Each structure stands twice: as structure tokens, then as C-alpha cells.
Structure 1
Amino acid sequence: MNRRNFFQSLGAVAASGIALPTWATQTGLQQTGGIGKAKPLFRANPRLTCLRGYQGQDVSCDSAWIEGKIPSDLRGDFYRNGPGLFERGNQRYHHWFDGDGMVHAWRFGEQGVSHQARFVRTKKFLAEQQAGEFLVPAFGTPIEAKIPMRSSDTMNTANTNVIQLDGRLLALWEGGSAHAMDASSLQTHGIVSWAPELAGMPFSAHPKVEADGTMWNFGTMMDRLVMYQISAQGKLIKHHVMKCPRTAMAHDFAISQKHLIFLLSPIALNMDLLRAGRSMVDSMEWKAEESTKVLIVEKADFTKSRILEIPALMLFHFGNAWEENNIIHLDFVKSNDLTNFNTWMPKIMRGEDVASEPSNPAFLRIDLNTNKIRLTERLENAEFPRVDPRVVGQRNQFLYYPHAVNKRDNNAFNGVMRLHVDSGKKDVFDFGERYRLEEHVVVPKRGSRNEGEAWLVGVGFDVDRQTSFASVFDAQNLSAGPVALAHLPYWLPHCFHGNFYSRA
């Protein structure tokens, strides 16, 4: 550790006098009955407290306890989104992806850092809050529908990402519509429809926003792909629906200067299992003998595309893509198959502290002149890659990841890493075994012009103290340790994704 021995090992927190609310200090959820019979649903496990979930309550803290010093030019709102509720009545979700969305606002101001979190008031959330039970099937949990299933938005959890577009927040879930929210109060306004003919169409949780504010996004429906181009003012510029190689799940994509790039993994959906009552996750089958399809679509004309192939691989997240001399360079995080998705995640949702399969930084070089592809990968265990927002879709020097540092069990990210793409050099900070980190995002320093002149901001969970914190690093010197931590008096459910929006 560095940065003054990581703030004297956080010893000052114990003397801060912060009192934890009763619900935040419980050792575990009530052990309740499962689907059809009584059984424990979540084993109390302090390492996995952040996956227990809340019971539907909103939370706030007007003034986080600051350790170190928040940089004077770091002013703005850090929004995060993730599943926050996993249990109702006698049922608990089997999969992390199933929980109801909870949007968080960490506000960095002159007076310090505050935190506010509210559940997205989807139609599903409101109906189930009133009923006190789950009413619709979930992505990874077989639940009998108790209300009419009119569209995918009936089960929309709005739980994966949150972006700001033209002054309003959009809570995103890849299977259905975006939900608009007020950026100040986090009040839910309702479903967004980009055009009448697009009502209810899937809108991915991973839109790509270029430096000028132009947003690109997609949605998949088995063998159909819808693509969107949206202006910085939130107006639909164009869209297109096309037939594409069939896959049961496409979570993310990348953009370069001229193209949208998709890697469609060989995941089949067993319809017999689905009709027999299995969840969608439990009905997915990995086809190792088949290829991953590389779909490349022209930005200027969505009707123009080509499909290439590489050996079977699994991925969730891209970092960035760029092209030069008709060669596309892109990076992503590679896994071998569906093991983490359909085996590891259900286990941790039961409170089992089990090892996951590693996921590694990987890189593709796609030569559009010859249609040849070269794959390279690294050995670090990492996920959630991010780049400086000023270089999205342009050539980038750096990638930033949460990183499992010196961990044999590969079960939690406990460090941050900056990778220099060309040289392969790394800058790493290790928080130690007691911390579990979420995605970290890049926030350009005020007045800076060069990529990487930025702050790296993220959220983590302190296992020993059972509380959550926001961390701030100088993105040019991660190994020196965090310049500041903003501690909350309670723990938060782990989030998936979010974005920082600076204020003048």
C-alpha cells in the first residue's frame, strides 16, 4: 500500500462516530422459504453482504465522511445503477441480473460528498411492492406470471446502467425500454419511446457516447438487431432493424470512427426447456463447436454490414474501438464460456463464497481489406473496462479496469489497473483482501486536453466495516493509492455501471 499506508489502514473511520442504521448492521436476510418449499435462500456471508439486497427502501446520506482530500476540480454527479432488491415473500431471485434497479447519485460539491439512492419505479416494481410478492418471470429465475405479460417491459427491471442525456437520466435494461428519471430527485418519470414504431423495442444498457454527445445503441431479439443513432439533444436521428446471426444474449458492442462492431457468442436458447418452465438463463446452452460471429455495421448506412468469424468465446464488456488504414482495433474482456454466468452467479446469490473463472483483457485486430482477424489476450483477471470519455470511438492509449490483484480465488476485484495499450505497461493499486470494488470511471480534469489527465472514480465495499465508499484516484498515478475516500454509514448493493457528469 501507499498513499500514507492507505490512510493509516482506515483507522480513522473507527473514530469518526458514524452510527449505522439498524437495517445496515443486520448479519443476514431472514431465511425464508424457496419456490415451492422451505429452504434457506441466502446464507449470511459478510463478504457478500453487498449482494443481499435491500427490502425496497430508498437511502440517503447528506455528508459522507471524507478521508484524504477530494480534488477541488472534481465537482459533479456520479450516477450508478444496479440490482437492489432480490427477495419478496417466500422467494429470492436465483441470478444477480434479476434484481430491481436502484439508481445512486454520489454528488461531489464544495461542501463534500453526499449520496442518494432510489429504486426505479418501474411498473413491475410498483406492482410487486403493493403485492408483496414477485408477479412476473425473471431472466434467471422461473417465476409464474401472475399479471398479464403485455411486452418485455412488463418484466423490465431498469437495473443495468444509467446515463444522462439532455438533462434527464435514463435507467437502462437491455431487454426493453429506457426509464426516464429526474437527475436531481431521482424520481421516475416513466418509459421512453424514441419513435412510435420503436415502442417497447429493446434498448441496450451499453450505449456509446462520442465526445460530441452523439449516442449509438442497439437491441437484440434473437436473430434481429435494432440499431439507434441519437443526437446529444436526445432526438432519434436514424434507426434500422436487420436480421443477424442468432444468439441468446448480446450484452455490449463497440464503435469505431466508421463502424459498429458486435461479437455474437454461440449461445443457443433451448426452447423445450423454456416451455417446460426453466428460466431463460437455465435454458441457455453453450455451443463450443460453433464460432463467435463478428458483425460489422457501417455507421453512415446501417443497411451495409459484413460478418466474419472467430473461435467460440464469451464476453460481456468492450472497452473501446478505433480504426486506421481500414483496420479496426478493439478490446474487450474475454471468458471461455457461460460458466460464470449460469453457474457462479447463482451460487453467490445464495451467499456461497465460491471461486469464479477468470476474465482477461483481450484485443482484436480486424483487417477489413483481407477480412482476417488476429486475437491476443493478457493474463490479468479484470472486468468493466473504461476509457477516457474524450476518446470513445477514437484511438486510445489507456484502459482502466477493476482488477483481482494477487488473488487465487478469483472471486472479487480488489484493485484498480491502468493498462498502456501499446507498451503493455501497467499501473496498479491493491486495496487488499478486505475490499470488493465495482467499475471505476474516468473523469477528465478541469481544463485538461490530453487523454488520461483525469481522475478515476469508483465505488467499493469494505468487508470488515460492512460499509460502502467512493474512491478517487489520480488516473496518472494509480499506484500511489487513492487521493480520497468518501465513506457512507451503510452498505450498498453492488452496482453494474454508471457515469460521472462534471459541473462547471
Structure 2
Amino acid sequence: MPQPSTTPQPPEYAAGFRTLHDEFDLDRLQVEGRIPAYVRGSLLRIGPAQFEDAAGPFDHHFDGLGMWHRFHFGEAGVSYRNRFARSEAYRKSRAHGSIEFSGFGTPSQPGVRERLLREAQAGALPNVNAGVAFAKIDGRMVAMTDGSTIPMYFDGETLDSQELLLWDDALQRLDCAGQPVKSWRMRLTTAHSHLDPLTGDHINYFTQLGGGKPSYNLYRVRKGSRQREPLAYLETDAPAYMHAFCVTEHHIVLPESPLVIDTEQLAAGVPVARAMHWAARGMRLHVIRKADGQRVRSFEVDPVYAMHTLNAFERDGEICVDLCAYADKEHVFDLFLDPAMRQPGGRYAGQRFPELRSHAKLTRYILPLDGGAARWHRLSDATVELGTVDYDRVNGRPYRCGYLTGISPRDPGYYDQIARIDVERQDTRTWSRPGLYAGEPIFVADPDGRHADAGVLLSLVLDSRSERSLIQLLDAETLGEVAQVHLPHHVPAGFHGVFRKDAR
């Protein structure tokens, strides 16, 4: 009698972590359903696409070499193009088979770190694996990563990589307090910059390491400029891993979680994700006034971690901050491809696939600016991540609806659900289908719509049965299915995106 196989079964979503080697130019994709006439423009998506090199597999989802995707919705149909970001790691991979750089969770090979330090001292270009999020600076599209404060320009139509934005300003030599720094390369940052809702200025921050005490440094780049200007400076006892923050009309809110980085380990060459630990404190929410860079108040709440924020706004002398809150540090570790770095146990223990066992809930923190403690309440019981809003209209302002991916009650181990959460009524609607794994939903407004979320959501979805990807269009209010746009290949599990209307 045959014995049952003891070979562990990979997860349904395994194709989402298989390298996509090829770059395509496809003139017309298969469409099911009817795409609304107002959806005219380009959906840009970004994420990792290569998960190994000649030296072996990478250890974390964030370490995959970045790729950009463009789905253009026009009168004649939907076309597609994809390109790798031409980073130094990509170039070395193609030339030598090995990326020869350390990553977010992948250690560098012996001797590589010393060589990179020598090259940096000689002024070599940094490695910018621009694979996390998009922004626009000085009227041009850039791709960004947490791994470097240097954005990469690219052509939004051809996806051709262009020059790095090597900042030529005082903040390459100073921190935001005007103090000289040892090196601008010794900085952490976030790819989730914001636009000031009043001025349109680009706002971001970096964490300065090396030399004196670690500090958070907030800056702005005025609309039409490529020069950073200091906004605020906050010293910290231990730098947190902050992947996102919030802006309102008059304030910035930094969510400093207890997931902190050991700077000594980092200086010794340990990758960021392997140098993290959970500190014995709560999450600190720092409120900074944009007008003068002063810290208005800092609040300490329960120990939670927020990978992504959804929105924030001012109301009656308070600030409401809506974010995806985890009760522990494990989300960053759940995304390790190296199984030794994930939580013990799980269905895919020992296999090189993420398994999302720590679940976030959309939570509102209410911060009174004139005194009193912070308050909080949960906005939904759905498991959520990767949230978006109608950014151009409501970022930093009161709003009604957020759109998030997440994990359905069947809990397959990765994102398989889209949620629409009405934050005013605290009403949640969800969409999911067996075998489909959903990406971040991008809202496209119906200009003739009569309600707050008239429009559609665009989500890049992996069909685990065919191991191909598609764009799922959903009605943003009802989550009813509108149309699907099918690719003839898979797209690896990615991160973020943006919709650019034609003639913008």
C-alpha cells in the first residue's frame, strides 16, 4: 500500500514569491466585463520580482529586486509593460550573478561589506533598490525604498530608469538641527512620503544614525523644487522602525513603535530586520506643528506596531490618527523568507514563504492637543493592511471611507481580501474569492459620482489556480465585481501603487 507523502505542501500563494525574470510589452490584455469610461490613465504598481541570485535565496520579502508595472487603460483597451529598476544591485546581478549588497534581512557575503564601505568613501553611487512606493518630486516621477534616502527618477510611460536624485542641499551634510553628520548614508527613512494637503509640498523624514544621539529629522521639498528644507528634529533613546507616518493640515504625526533597532548591531553590519527587538514601552505618537517644527505633544499608548497608516485629520482641538495596529512585533518577521526568523510553528514552518500570522486591525487614536490622555477605539474587526483613501481629496482631512487589503476568515496565510471601511459609521464590507490573493486597492473616482466613494478600486490579484495575475475592478461602494483584466503571467506579491490619469 503506498505511503502518504511527507513532502510539505507549499501555500496556495506560492507563485507570489517566485521570480519573474522577463520584461514584457503587451499591447492588449484580455478584459472580462466593462471598464468604466472614466478609468483612463495608468495604474503603476511596484514590488520585488527577483528573490535569489547566484549566491542563494534572499531572506526577506523586502529584499527582492524591485520591478515596476504599468497598466494603461485607454480607449482601445488595456496595455501592460514591466521593467526592473536599474539599481546597482540589479546591474551587478546581471553582470556577475550576485547582487553583492546586504538587504533589509539578507546579510551580505563575506568581504562585501568592507568593499562597499571603501567604495562609499570613494564616492560610489549608492544601491537604491527602488521597489516600495512612488512619489512625484519637482514634477517628475520617482520610485523609493526604505533602504536609501535617495529616490530614483523614472519615466512614467516607458518605465525606463533615469538618474538618482542625489540631493544637493544642506541636509546631505547636516541634520535638521543644523549639526554636522558623519554620513548621509547612515540614515533610515520611509518610502511613504506625503504631500502637504495645503501646499502640495513633499514631506518626509529620515532617522540619523552615527555620531551623536539617534534623531528623527523631518523635512519638506517645496512644490517645484528638489531642495530639502528642515522642518523638525526629535532625538530618541532608541530608533524605531517606522515605515509610515501621517500628515494633517497643520501637523505631522510620527508613530514611534516599540520595534526598535540596535544601532551597535547595525554598525557591525547586521541587516536592519535582524537588528530589531521589542522594547519594554508603548507606542509613542509625536505631534509636530508644521508651521514652526515644534513638538506640540507626545502620547504614549499601549505597545503596538503600525506598518502602515491610513489617514489622519484635525477635529475640535484633537487629532484622529487611523492606522493598522499589531499587538506585537511579528508582522515584520512573518515576512521573512528565511523560516528560522519567523515565529515558531505555523503551517509553512521550514518553507521559504511568508506566513502572516500576526493580524492588524484598523484602529483610531484620538490625541487631544490641549491636555489629557490619548483615547483609542477599533474601527473594524476585519484583518487589514495596505490601506488607501481618495488621496488627492481627503489626505490629512476628515474622510469617510478607507480601502484596504487583508486576510479573510479562512485565514490562508496571506492577503486574500479587500475591505471597504466606513470610518464614520464603522461599517465594514469585504470581497474575497477562493484562490485569489489581493493587492493594495487603488481608488479611481467617478467624476460624475454623487457620493463619497463613487468610483472603482483597482487591485492587482494573483490567481493561485492558474498562477497568473489579473487586475480586479470593484465598485468602491458595494465591492461588486465590475471587470477583470488578465495577464498571461504571474506578478510577484508586491507593495504599493498609484493611478495617474491621462494628461497628468
The two structures have a TM-score, normalised by structure 2, of 0.84
Q: How far apart are the structure 2 equivalents of 1:49 and 1:425?
A: 33
Query: Among residues 266, 290, 305, which one is paired with 2:281 in the alignment?
Result: 290
CA contact (8 A) 1:332 1:363 kept: yes
For 1:393, the equivalent position in structure 2 comes to 396
1:102 aligns with 2:67: yes
Report the alpha carbon displacement of residue 209 of structure 1 after superposing the two structures with TM.
2.4
Q: How far apart are the structure 1 equivalents of 2:96 and 2:372?
A: 55
Q: Deviations over 1:100-125 (max 9, x none)?
A: 11111111111111111111112232
Q: Deviations over 1:50-77 (max 9, x none)?
A: 112234x322322111011111110011
**Counterpart AA for 1:451:** A
For 1:186, the equivalent position in structure 2 comes to 159
Query: Among residues 229, 244, 249, which one is paired with 1:238 in the alignment?
Result: 229
Q: 1:456 to 1:187 in 2, by over 3 A?
A: same
For 2:343, the equivalent position in structure 1 comes to none
Report the alpha carbon displacement of residue 291 of structure 1 after superposing the two structures with TM.
2.0
1:163 aligns with 2:135: yes
Q: Deviations over 1:205-236 (max 9, x none)?
A: 11122566333222223522222223343444
Report the alpha carbon displacement of residue 277 of structure 1 after superposing the two structures with TM.
5.8
For 1:228, the equivalent position in structure 2 comes to 219
For 2:453, the equivalent position in structure 1 comes to 452
Q: Please list, as runs of the form range in 1=range in 2, the aligned pairs for 1:296-311 lying within 5 A after superposition.
A: 296-311=287-302
Q: Deviations over 1:398-419 (max 9, x none)?
A: 111113222234x122221111
Query: Among residues 406, 412, 415, which one is paired with 2:414 in the alignment?
Result: 412
Q: Please list, as runs of the form range in 1=range in 2, the aligned pairs for 1:22-37 lying within 5 A after superposition.
A: none
RMSD between aligned residues:
2.6
Query: Among residues 304, 307, 313, which one is paired with 1:313 in the alignment?
Result: 304
1:206 aligns with 2:192: yes
Query: Among residues 116, 119, 124, which one is paired with 1:148 in the alignment?
Result: 116
For 1:51, the equivalent position in structure 2 comes to 17
Q: Taking every aligned residue pair, what percent have the same amino acid on both sides?
A: 23
Report the alpha carbon displacement of residue 127 of structure 1 after superposing the two structures with TM.
2.5
For 1:437, the equivalent position in structure 2 comes to 438
CA contact (8 A) 1:332 1:362 kept: yes
Deviates more, 1:100-109 or 1:347-356: 347-356
For 1:279, the equivalent position in structure 2 comes to 271
For 1:28, the equivalent position in structure 2 comes to none
Q: How far apart are the structure 2 equivalents of 1:168 and 1:361?
A: 33
Report the alpha carbon displacement of residue 324 of structure 1 after superposing the two structures with TM.
1.7
Q: Which has the higher contact order (CA 8 A, sep 6+)?
A: 1
For 1:10, the equivalent position in structure 2 comes to none
Q: 1:405 to 1:206 in 2, by over 3 A?
A: same
For 2:84, the equivalent position in structure 1 comes to 119
Q: 1:60 to 1:336 in 2, by over 3 A?
A: farther
Q: How far apart are the structure 2 equivalents of 1:96 and 1:355?
A: 12
SS at match of 1:345: coil
For 2:248, the equivalent position in structure 1 comes to 256
Report the alpha carbon displacement of residue 305 of structure 1 after superposing the two structures with TM.
4.2
Report the alpha carbon displacement of residue 486 of structure 1 after superposing the two structures with TM.
0.5
Query: Among residues 146, 162, 168, which one is paired with 1:174 in the alignment?
Result: 146
Q: How far apart are the structure 2 equivalents of 1:213 and 1:252?
A: 18
Q: How far apart are the structure 2 equivalents of 1:272 and 1:304?
A: 28
Unaligned residue ranges in structure 1 (runs of 5+): 1-39
**Counterpart AA for 2:323:** F
Report the alpha carbon displacement of residue 299 of structure 1 after superposing the two structures with TM.
1.3
Q: How far apart are the structure 2 equivalents of 1:44 and 1:327?
A: 48
Q: 1:272 to 1:162 in 2, by over 3 A?
A: closer
Q: How far apart are the structure 2 equivalents of 1:449 and 1:303?
A: 40
For 1:374, the equivalent position in structure 2 comes to 375
SS at match of 1:124: helix
Q: How far apart are the structure 2 equivalents of 1:455 and 1:197?
A: 43
Q: How far apart are the structure 1 equivalents of 2:138 and 2:264?
A: 44
Report the alpha carbon displacement of residue 47 of structure 1 after superposing the two structures with TM.
2.0
Q: 1:75 to 1:232 in 2, by over 3 A?
A: farther
Report the alpha carbon displacement of residue 385 of structure 1 after superposing the two structures with TM.
1.3
CA contact (8 A) 2:442 2:498 kept: yes
For 1:22, the equivalent position in structure 2 comes to none
For 1:467, the equivalent position in structure 2 comes to 468
Q: 1:102 to 1:352 in 2, by over 3 A?
A: closer
**Counterpart AA for 1:214:** D
For 2:205, the equivalent position in structure 1 comes to 218
For 2:322, the equivalent position in structure 1 comes to 331
Q: Deviations over 1:467-488 (max 9, x none)?
A: 011121221221x2x2111000
**Counterpart AA for 1:261:** V
Unaligned residue ranges in structure 2 (runs of 5+): 1-6, 173-183, 340-347
Q: 1:62 to 1:491 in 2, by over 3 A?
A: same
**Counterpart AA for 2:191:** A
- How many residue pairs get matched? 458
SS at match of 1:385: strand
SS at match of 1:372: coil
